[in-house]
Amino acid sequence: MGLKPSALLASILLFFLVSCGETPKKQELKEAQNTLKKDSILDNPVPEEIQEEPKEKEEEAFVLNEENVIDFFFNYAKELKEDKVRLTTSMGSFTVQLYDNVPYHKANFIYLARKGYFDNTQFHRVVKDFIIQGGNSDDKKTWQKRKAIGRYLLPPDAKKGHKHHRGTISMPSSERDNPHKLASPYEFFIVVTRPGSYHLDGSYTPFGRVIEGMDVVDAINNVPVGDGDWPYQNVYILKAEVL
């Protein structure tokens, strides 16, 4: 059926309006979107002042070694006013007083106590009526703490007039090839012999003495031990506190 002339004219006008009115609006919108995208990404980069700056490299942790250890403890000792350390063990607590004229060994012991090194280590060697020796452990964390603090030895300082009386705290020498008897800084031993173990004088460095809790030291010395003088039941140092 054909359209009437008036209807045909209305259709032509509608087509003209759609073609000449709506299409340009869509085209303009598309061009505007393209322009916005282009301006946002290429023509307007993030201002330099708000760009994320590259992160600075973290400072490397300080680690002691045989080259820096003497200078470090020389300076560390000059600032020390404390001279007592309380060791709380799984069998009770005792307190040691450290000698001022053995500065490197005193500073070392206090430094390790403050670093928390001795916490959860053990008395790993107990020799009846002779010594108890601490500062080691069969726990992997102890090795990890040693690695973080550093690998070093201390020179012997055995000529300051201190003897290995009963109650003396002294530092053993390293087990590796060590003709000069350099001290193993992570361990210590306490003499329980009456009146003392004077055959040790000159070979090891006494750096303090037990002033309180010697009964606890004696109790540790009486625990049953197995091969290698390691106690059958572990005796732990729970905490070392600088007083």
Distance in angstroms (rounded) separating the CA atoms of residues 131 and 84: 20
Distance in angstroms (rounded) separating the CA atoms of residues 158 and 170: 10
Spatial CB neighbours of 141, under 8 Å, sequence gap ≥ 6: 120
List per-residue pLDDT tens for the chain, 243 residues long. 554 545 544 454 444 444 444 444 445 445 544 544 443 333 445 455 445 555 555 567 899 999 999 999 999 999 999 999 999 999 999 999 999 999 999 999 999 999 999 999 999 999 999 999 999 998 999 999 999 999 999 999 999 999 999 999 999 987 666 777 788 999 999 999 999 999 999 999 999 999 999 999 999 999 999 988 999 999 999 999 999
Distance in angstroms (rounded) separating the CA atoms of residues 30 and 9: 32
Structure tokens at 202: 């000159």
The structure's pTM equals: 0.75
